[in-house]
């Protein structure tokens, strides 16, 4: 998590493809969190069923 804080704190004027770095980092963190929840739910379900 520290690199995210450093990116927002020390490089807040930087842009990535026309988007400010803090917004870019925030969207990436939100997206990866939203994607990981269903993926981990499926993994837990598979492990509970005993497929693996």
Nearest to 25 by CA among 2, 37, 7, 13: 7
- Spatial distance between the Cα atoms of 22 and 52, rounded to a whole number of angstroms: 40
Highest mean predicted confidence (pLDDT) among 1-5, 20-24, 28-32:
28-32
Is the pLDDT confidence value at 5 over 80?
no
Residue where the block lists tokens 């990981």: 36
Q: From CA 17, how far away is CA 22, in angstroms rounded?
A: 13
Going by pLDDT thresholds of 50, 70 and 90, the confidence category of residue 1 is low
pLDDT at 43 over 80: yes
pLDDT digits (tens, 9 = 90+) for 11-23: 777 788 888 888 8
């Amino acid at each position: 998590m520290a690199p995210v804080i450093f990116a927002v704190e020390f490089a807040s004027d930087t842009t990535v493809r026309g988007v400010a770095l803090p917004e870019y980092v925030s969207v990436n963190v939100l997206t990866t969190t939203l994607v990981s929840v269903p993926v981990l739910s499926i993994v837990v379900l598979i492990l509970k069923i005993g497929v693996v």
